[in-house]
């Protein structure tokens, strides 16, 4: 029986385990946390630190192929697995996506691909010189380990006292973009085939995804442009696995890439209910036989994230919509607790 090891046991890991079970594939999870969403759905799990070699070796023994559900994993850990078995996407791809500076440099090296202007920041004087060039309108982000707006500071004027207090090592300063809207495209690529899911529109609140809408309310020309960009990035990366590409559509319909995620993505949760093959099933098809299947949508829909205390209304949500509970131990502000989907 085929076995897939997943690094990380959050909701994405949980959905990968569920999809694997439907195909008769066994799953094992490596988790840093004691309690995690995928616990009830995997066949075995390993809880520990990324530095614990014994657990790492047991985990490597537990599966034939490996994948990730977060990019925040030390490169050395992924590489140790990849030396013995295969990790999809490969560690060198994850390396690009886990560091905002490396990611932006990679993206801008591709002909026809653009991002916001950016500066590498390692001390306050770097910041001071760069924010002047941006007319004091920027967004300062940690290069690594930031997600859902964590480690981000918006700057709108010359009042930069809060920045002076930070230890500015390994940061990136981006120009603050006055975009029209945000979209994303998910690509799956194996040795035999590449597919892309249709473009969706994403609405964020406090830098956290709140809503995904299919189809995105943008022109066919812009959709085509976004899809071509996503496929080109996946080809340039030599992707084997899944990649989500978040983009900004500017007021003149220009597209700038925001960031890449080498794993299933929150903006693809709608594919569980409204596509012929979900992003999780397609990750597995790609890993196992190199051929993702049809991503064709089966209806217009919306996905809404249940964040923090929204979860207290879960019974109401269960009655009205298809509701997914991420089975988290504790409600925390800004924590993704679940999502619901409905036909639009």
Residues that bind ligand AMP (CB under 6 A): 116, 139, 149, 174, 176-177, 182, 204, 207, 246, 258-259
Our CB check for ligand AMP shows the closer of 117 and 291 to be 117
Instruction: Work out how close the CB of 300 gets to ligand AMP at its nearest, in angstroms, rounded to a whole number.
Output: 23
Instruction: Work out how close the CB of 119 gets to ligand AMP at its nearest, in angstroms, rounded to a whole number.
Output: 12
d(Cα 55, Cα 188) in Å, to the nearest integer?
30
Helical spans, DSSP H, in the chain: 11-22, 53-61, 75-84, 91-97, 100-108, 124-133, 161-164, 220-237, 271-274, 279-289, 314-320
d(Cα 291, Cα 331) in Å, to the nearest integer?
39
Instruction: Work out how close the CB of 321 gets to ligand AMP at its nearest, in angstroms, rounded to a whole number.
Output: 24
Our CB check for ligand AMP shows the closer of 57 and 108 to be 108
CA atoms within 13 A on the CB side of 56: 17
Our CB check for ligand AMP shows the closer of 99 and 281 to be 99
Instruction: Work out how close the CB of 246 gets to ligand AMP at its nearest, in angstroms, rounded to a whole number.
Output: 6
Instruction: Work out how close the CB of 218 gets to ligand AMP at its nearest, in angstroms, rounded to a whole number.
Output: 16
Instruction: Work out how close the CB of 104 gets to ligand AMP at its nearest, in angstroms, rounded to a whole number.
Output: 10
Q: How far is CA 318 from CA 209, 272, 311, 334, in A?
A: 21, 16, 11, 21
Instruction: Work out how close the CB of 109 gets to ligand AMP at its nearest, in angstroms, rounded to a whole number.
Output: 19
Give the residue closest to ligand AMP by C-beta.
Answer: 177
240, 75 Cβ separation under 8 angstroms: no
> In this structure, are strands 65-68 and 3-7 parallel, antiparallel, or unpaired?
parallel
Sheet containing strand 44-47, strands side by side: 44-47, 26-31, 3-7, 65-68, 86-88
Our CB check for ligand AMP shows the closer of 23 and 334 to be 334
Locate 29 and state its tokens. 């999870």
305-337: burial string, b at 16+ Cβ within 10 Å, e else: bbbeebbeeeeebeeebbbbbbbbeeeeeebbb
Our CB check for ligand AMP shows the closer of 108 and 207 to be 207
258, 115 Cβ separation under 8 angstroms: yes
Our CB check for ligand AMP shows the closer of 10 and 292 to be 10
Our CB check for ligand AMP shows the closer of 69 and 174 to be 174
Our CB check for ligand AMP shows the closer of 53 and 157 to be 157
Our CB check for ligand AMP shows the closer of 82 and 104 to be 104
Determine the number of helices (DSSP H) and then strands (DSSP E) in the chain. Answer: 11, 18
Contacts of 224 (CB under 8 A, 6+ apart): none
Locate 149 and state its tokens. 């707006």
Instruction: Work out how close the CB of 59 gets to ligand AMP at its nearest, in angstroms, rounded to a whole number.
Output: 29
Q: How far is CA 259 from CA 74, 143, 185, 250, in A?
A: 19, 12, 11, 15
**Of residues 130, 209, 214, the one with CA closest to residue 173:** 130
Instruction: Work out how close the CB of 116 gets to ligand AMP at its nearest, in angstroms, rounded to a whole number.
Output: 4
């Amino acid at each position: 029986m085929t076995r897939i090891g997943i690094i990380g046991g959050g909701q994405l890991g949980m959905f990968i385990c569920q999809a694997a079970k439907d195909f008769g594939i066994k799953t094992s999870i490596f988790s840093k946390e004691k309690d995690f969403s995928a616990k009830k759905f995997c066949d075995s799990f390993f809880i520990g630190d990324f530095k614990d070699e014994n657990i790492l070796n047991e985990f490597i023994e537990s599966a034939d192929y490996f994948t990730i559900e977060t990019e925040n994993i030390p490169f050395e850990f992924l590489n140790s697995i990849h030396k013995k078995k295969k990790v999809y996407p490969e560690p060198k791809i994850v390396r690009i996506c886990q560091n905002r500076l490396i990611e932006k440099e990679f993206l801008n090296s591709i002909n026809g691909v653009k991002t916001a202007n950016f500066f590498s920041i390692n001390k306050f004087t770097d910041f001071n010189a760069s924010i002047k060039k941006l007319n004091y309108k920027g967004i300062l982000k940690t290069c690594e380990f930031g997600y859902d707006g964590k480690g981000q500071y918006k700057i709108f004027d010359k009042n930069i006292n809060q920045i002076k207090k930070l230890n500015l090592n390994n940061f990136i300063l981006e120009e603050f973009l006055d975009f029209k809207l945000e979209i994303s495209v998910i690509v799956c690529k194996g040795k035999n085939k590449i597919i892309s899911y249709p473009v969706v529109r994403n609405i964020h609140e406090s830098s956290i995804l709140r809503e995904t809408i299919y189809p995105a309310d943008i022109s066919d020309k812009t959709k085509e442009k976004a899809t071509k960009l996503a496929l080109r990035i996946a080809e340039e990366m030599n992707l084997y696995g899944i990649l989500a590409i978040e983009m900004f559509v500017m007021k003149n319909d220009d597209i700038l890439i925001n960031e890449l995620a080498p794993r299933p993505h929150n903006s693809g949760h709608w594919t569980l209910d409204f596509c012929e093959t979900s992003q999780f099933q397609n990750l597995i098809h790609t890993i196992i036989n190199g051929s993702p299947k049809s991503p064709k949508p089966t209806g217009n829909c919306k996905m809404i994230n249940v964040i923090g205390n929204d979860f207290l209304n879960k019974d109401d949500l269960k009655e009205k919509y298809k509701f997914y509970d991420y089975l988290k131990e504790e409600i925390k502000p800004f924590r993704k607790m679940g999502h619901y989907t409905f036909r639009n």
